[in-house]
Structure 1
């Protein structure tokens, strides 16, 4: 993926140089060409293509934190043992129709 990004950035850089060096072009036009044809689309592409890897990293981090938390039998910050989960002793309250 990065090879495509590097290639496209090179092509748009050359387009920007030609735009800036042209007798009818301007430096501002070359900068705009590079930003709008090169940097912006490639930044979006890298962000979108990298989202599955970021999602996997977040899940792995959460799994590691969950395992570390489950393995810990020490008391919590209040120096008391963690409480067990409560059952469904109280029914939920609903508004009258």
Structure 2
């Protein structure tokens, strides 16, 4: 995913440079081009693609806070074994 982000930011920078150096272009146009074609879409992409990782981290935090089993399917064992009366 980061390769796509780096490549797209390179393309956005080149578009902004072309806008700034064009005889009819302006520096303001270059900044707007970079923000609207580069920073905005990349920020949205990173946010959406990072959603599964954030969800998994939240689930791990909640499981650790609640003391739930670690997914082994068994209830946690008691620290002290039960004592039985002799007949």
Rounded to whole Å, the distance in 2 between the matches of 1:35 and 1:21 is 17
Query: How many pairs are equivalent?
Result: 69
Rounded to whole Å, the distance in 2 between the matches of 1:40 and 1:13 is 13
Unaligned ranges ≥5, structure 2: 69-75, 77-87
Give 1:50-61 correspondences, 5 Å limit. 50-61=50-61
Residue in structure 1 matched with residue 14 of structure 2 by the alignment: 14
Deviation at 1:67, TM superposition (A): 1.1
Moved over 3 A (4+): none
Rounded to whole Å, the distance in 1 between the matches of 2:7 and 2:67 is 43
Give 1:1-97 correspondences, 5 Å limit. 1-67=1-67
The one of the two structures with greater contact order (alpha-carbon pairs below 8 A, sep at least 6) is 2
Deviation at 1:46, TM superposition (A): 0.2
Unaligned ranges ≥5, structure 1: 72-97
RMSD over equivalenced CA pairs, Å: 1.4
SS at match of 1:4: helix
Deviation at 1:13, TM superposition (A): 0.3
How high is the TM-score relative to the length of structure 2? 0.76
Rounded to whole Å, the distance in 2 between the matches of 1:16 and 1:46 is 21
